[in-house]
Amino acid sequence: MKILLVICDGMADRPVEAFKGMTPLEAAEVPNMDRLAREGQTGLMDVIAPGIVPGSDTAHLALLGYDPMVVYTGRGPFEAAGEGVEVRKGDVAFRCNFATVDAKMHVTDRRAGRISSDTDKLASALNGMKIEDIDIIFKQGVDHRAVLVLRGPGLSPWVSAVDPHHEGKVLVSRGLEPEDEKTARILNEFTKRSYEILNKHPVNIERVRVGKPPANIALARGPGSPPEVPSFTEQHNGLNGAAVVGISLVRGLCSLSGLEIIPVKGATGSTDTDLVAKAKAAKKALTTHDFVLLHFKAPDLYGHDGDARGKVAFIEKIDGALKKVLDGLSDTVVCITADHSTPCSLKDHASDPVPVLVWGTGLRHDSTECFNELEAASGGLGHIRGNELMQMLSGLAGRNPKFGA
Ligand code: ZN
Ligand code: ZN
């Protein structure tokens, strides 16, 4: 059997007063998910470990069967890979913002007026420079976002960010240990040069002329090195896999683990994404791959906004799109879950375990009648850990060899 893993980012939640104490998933009309719950099994999952509040990157590492506590150094390499920048062993990658600073290196706008055009020209003015013996690779992302990769000998991800995360003075990067100082020195020099180059760039001269804040510095944060892990295929008994995902962070992580990224027109990684196009792409990918990861970001965005009604409506849209995948689907183990909880009451991630649902023709079922946090607590899967999920799914799909005689 094949495996379809549907990850609804941040879908799990807590009771919402306006819904008489129901969670958004309980309040949502999800006939397709409920049918799978009735015919399959549910349970709860601590994605990393009890009490640990997962980020989307560490959570997805765990769900793909890796131990984030061992292999994770920071978010940068996933963002860089997600923007199509190659990240090699020994590289250190950062996510960046184009920001506005004054001559005293005070950040006056962390997003340079949410600049949305000509960042390719600004990025190419920074890309390709050399500082000491280190190559600088720099690429724009969406809007004010960008990625920076340092490549060369003696680099380390254990350095602090230069982005102050609010208005205020640009920080000086420091290494955690003396051997990390080189990377900090390179990053500080890059930051200084980015100001010198961008402040007089024609794009910014024009922005100032029309009264917009110039994008006159690149501020880096989230340093990391690519995890040195076996590929997804090596990790999971030869399963070959693909991913349908709109956001660069998860796309980069999937691509670094060796999953094939299926491009989908209209997949935005936001609330306006084309869910049906993504569902159809996932179904098609199942004809050529053993494993397909289908990721929807928006429930997390509604959670961060504290918008419980928006979250309910989007969960219902996911359920509708899933019908496109499920109709006529055979010989496939389907799993639906979340990478973490993003309770609307917190507007942030929480450590609460997430509900997980597993369905497949001929597999067991339990007494669960519908799919939500409450019901899942009494489901037949019990309480599992995120990094056991893939092993469980490939076992159910008949992909795991016998252990012993
Ligand atoms: Zn997430
Ligand atoms: Zn989030």
- Ligand 1 centroid – CA 104 distance (Å): 37
- Ligand that lies nearest to the alpha carbon of residue 9, given by its number in the listed order: 1
If we measure between CA atoms, which residue out of 68, 61, 14, 121 comes closest to residue 252? Answer: 61
Which ligand neighbours the alpha carbon of 295 most closely? 1
Q: How far does residue 224's CA lie from ligand 1's centre (Å)? A: 18
Give the model confidence (pLDDT) of 231-272 as tens digits.
Answer: 999 999 999 999 999 999 999 999 999 999 999 999 988 999
What is the model's pLDDT at position 269? 87
pLDDT digits (tens, 9 = 90+) for 119-137: 999 999 999 999 999 999 9
Q: DSSP per residue over 25-52, as a string?
A: HHHS--HHHHHHHHHSEEEEEESSSTT-
pTM of the model: 0.93
Query: Looking at the predicted structure, is the pLDDT value of residue 161 above 90?
Result: yes
Classify residue 59 as left (phi > 0), alpha (psi -120 to 50) or beta: alpha
Domains and CATH numbers, the chain: 2-72+229-396 (3.40.720.10), 79-224 (no CATH)
Distance 349 CA to ligand 2 centre (A): 6
The tens digit of pLDDT for each residue in 351-369 reads: 999 999 999 999 999 999 9
The CA 327 to ligand 1 mean position distance, Å, reads 27
- Which amino acid does the sequence have at 404? G
What is the distance in A from the centroid of ligand 1 to the CA of 248? 12
Distance 120 CA to ligand 2 centre (A): 27
- Cα 16 to chain centroid distance, Å, stands at 26
Would you place residue 322 in the very low, low, confident or very high pLDDT band (cuts 50, 70, 90)?
Answer: very high
Ligand that comes closest to the CA of residue 61: 1
The whole-chain average pLDDT of the chain stands at: 96
The ligand that comes nearest to the alpha carbon of residue 63 is 1
> Residue 111: pLDDT above 90?
yes
Across 72-93, average pLDDT:
95
* Ligand 1 centroid – CA 54 distance (Å): 8
Q: Which ligand is nearest to the CA of 57?
A: 1
Please tell me the distance between residue 145's alpha carbon and the centre of ligand 1 in angstroms. Answer: 19
Distance 7 CA to ligand 1 centre (A): 9
**Which value, in Å, is the radius of gyration of the alpha carbons in the chain?**
22
